[in-house]
Structure 1
Amino acid sequence: MPLTTTRAELDRRFPIPPEIAPTLATSEQNKFAVEFTKVRDFVERRLYAEEDKGVTPSARGNAFLKAAIRSSLGKPLQDEDWFHETVARLLRRAWLSLSLGVYTKDISTCPDPAARLHLAQVNTVDLAWQPAVSQPSGGLIVEIGTGRGNSVLRLARLLPDTRIVSIGISRNQARTAEQLVTEMALPNVEIRCGDIYDPTVCADLVGQADAVGAIEVTGHFPAERKQEGIGILAGLLKPGGSLSLIDRAVIDSRRPLSEHSANQGIFLDNRAGYLTALSMSGLTPEAFIDYTADSLQTFIDTTKVLRRRRRELRAEFGWPLSLVWPAVPKYVHLPVSRQVQYAHIVGVKPA
């Protein structure tokens, strides 16, 4: 079977069951975004209030600026986890999640940039989980990379009869996600904190999953262990199960982007590398879809929203960062992202 390379082909290869299709409409995506944002903000306000004791906004913002400058000068980060979690906190004023949004025509016509962003990010989640959702409900689905919790909670809403296990390496993210699960009353979700390279973390899941998914996660696998990491994910699958990845694929590894990303603990692969990794892990490559053109609006909308919310940024991170940060998505991240493909990669374990 030829490799799937378009959204239309994805719909034919992994058709959505009629009973689930209405929940993927833009109006339903918006309902989830509104509900999730309300609960997330409630949970995170409590957590940040505890974390922020004894730390001034300016000290927090200046520490991040120093780390960002260090990285831009070609020096590795001293604390990658703290850096990436601070980026997430900076973006939460605009973003629903930690991933780019994939825009559709319907989403693009929405007049509010904040609503567009949230809808596009829910759409990314829906695309990532389409191979899983296309299968009969029930069974087990494993998410790698809990992030802000929006992905696993969206999936739990779509598939309430399916057991879902989300595994993340960040204790802070796991703690946040656990509280979100409680607040949204989702008994079919289990949050685990651990490193997938530790065999004890998912030993009970090996060969049990109907589907495995990861959104912008494999880029964080160490370069020398990327094949091993994808092999671990593939090993969780039952025969016939699908591995669905959404991540950046570098177009030219000789560009400065590759080195810059490595300084932030992100190791980019290319199209051939991903497809080879699937094959070497015993999976049949089914899809490589390039959503770059549909995702770049994320950065333009992010800058628009952050400029509106500069006062909130100042209260949390001080004056200097509140002045600089809103411009970064459009004028720094957007040009960089034109150098990569934002890709959906799917492999299936032979039955």
Structure 2
Amino acid sequence: MDLVNGTTVQAFILLGFGGELQKRFLLLIFFTALYVFTVAENITVITLVFLDAQLPRLPMYILLSNFSWLEICYVTTTVPRMLLDLASHHGIISFHACFLQFYIFFSLGVTECFFLSAMALDRYLAICQPLRYPQIMSQYSCYVLVAACWVVGFLWYPIPVGLISKLSFCGPNVIDHFMCDFGPILALACPPLGIVPLVCQVFMNAVMVCNVPFVVLSYGNIIFTLIKSTNQGSRKKAFSTISFHIMVVTLFYGSVGAMYLIPGGESQSEVTKAITVFYTAITPSLNPLIYCLRNDQVKEALERLLKRKERWFQRKEMI
């Protein structure tokens, strides 16, 4: 049955990773373990922040707990569907489900870009403007900043997604990917495409233009301020913290930016899948470790939580 916009495709087929049964089984085990680990460690971060007496009052940890929730949503948008396709090997996804995944995935990606900018702003104010930091980054302003990241992230992509969904899909319906991504979907649309690719590219580039220079300038100013600092102890501690923040930013923007540098050819889809797996599945599992592994406040919060649990069990045994 033809739709109003000339579309005859009612569902897409995600090729995923293909390959032999044994290969798919190994990938299924690996990504299942990775997904469970990612969700568990991000939930641990959120639990630590909200159950601790000190961390919920600190802007950095308000941002970090929301960032952990964002990572859970981000990885859940793609990985469970990928696991289903690996287990069943059918890869069929409806037209509307495909575009819903497309919209949510890109909206969460934009939200993450703004969260990384918000965290860079927080560190810039804490290190470069320490006297004004408590007034500027109060709990209220921090929650407003968090809400703004979520709202802007989900208001960024309705127009591009809406424009692509209105195109005609009258030919092949096979997507050589494990998810509904911008490039593979647009490649299946029947001409004429009009200005849709240009509009989509403008929206994608605008995210980078709004965030990457801001993040680079923020951490550049932080590093310059720390170099000038005469307090060796605080400088070393701040450098240790900032280096982990820069690592997270580099992993995210490096993998996303690599998508624009993929050469054409037969191996293009395989490279695209590999990069997409990295920033949709692997990076969310690394971020909590990078932020918290050498964070003394998180370690102290974990110790306080474990001691509280130990005292609770002791009281229960006495009863």
Q: In which range does the TM-score fall when normalised by the shorter chain?
A: under 0.3
Task: Return the TM-score normalized by structure 1.
Answer: 0.23
More strand by share: 1
More helix by share: 2
